[in-house]
Amino acid sequence: MKAEIIYASLTGNNEEIAEIIQNQLREHHVDTNLTEIGQADAFDLPVADLIVIVPYTYGEGDLPEEGLDFFDDLQDVDLSGTVFGVAGSGDRWYAEDYCKAVVKFDHQLETTGATRGVQPLFIDLHPEDADEQRLDDFTTSLIKTATQLGV
């Protein structure tokens, strides 16, 4: 099984989340590739079995500027047969804009024909020990869904 993990990080929190996910997937013998969103190409994603996006939310619920092209390109990619999950860090102080980019990427990936392997995961600021367990549940669910689909 091959996973593409794509992240955007301003504070380092999302990069750390992406690395935790990568390590957890590797523990399950999943071949992983970790890419910063500005370097990612949505048209390369169909080769992956699992896709994980870890974006930050900027301003009033905005997507990461360096990921706008990637986000837009997703609407032109057929990811049928691929399983996805979206996780990200945010600050609860922003109330209704908290982790809004996570939700937007989740919806965008859903339009590609990919299968949601797990519900979006929000992490408040820096990932703590309890968040690592939640991330483990996240990755386990992705693998389970992919296995059930015969990926």
pLDDT, tens only, 99-115: 789 999 999 999 999 99
Q: Which residues pair with 31 in a beta bridge?
A: 2
* Residue 52 amino acid letter: V
> Does the structure show a pLDDT above 90 at 148?
yes
Backbone dihedral region for residue 29 (phi beyond 0: left; psi -120 to 50: alpha; all else: beta): left
- What pLDDT sits at residue 95? 59
pLDDT, tens only, 70-85: 999 999 999 999 999 9
Q: Which residues pair with 6 in a beta bridge?
A: 35, 53
pLDDT, tens only, 30-89: 999 999 999 999 999 999 999 999 998 887 778 889 999 999 999 999 999 999 999 998
- What pLDDT sits at residue 61? 73
pTM listed for this prediction: 0.94
Is 2-149 CATH 3.40.50.360? yes
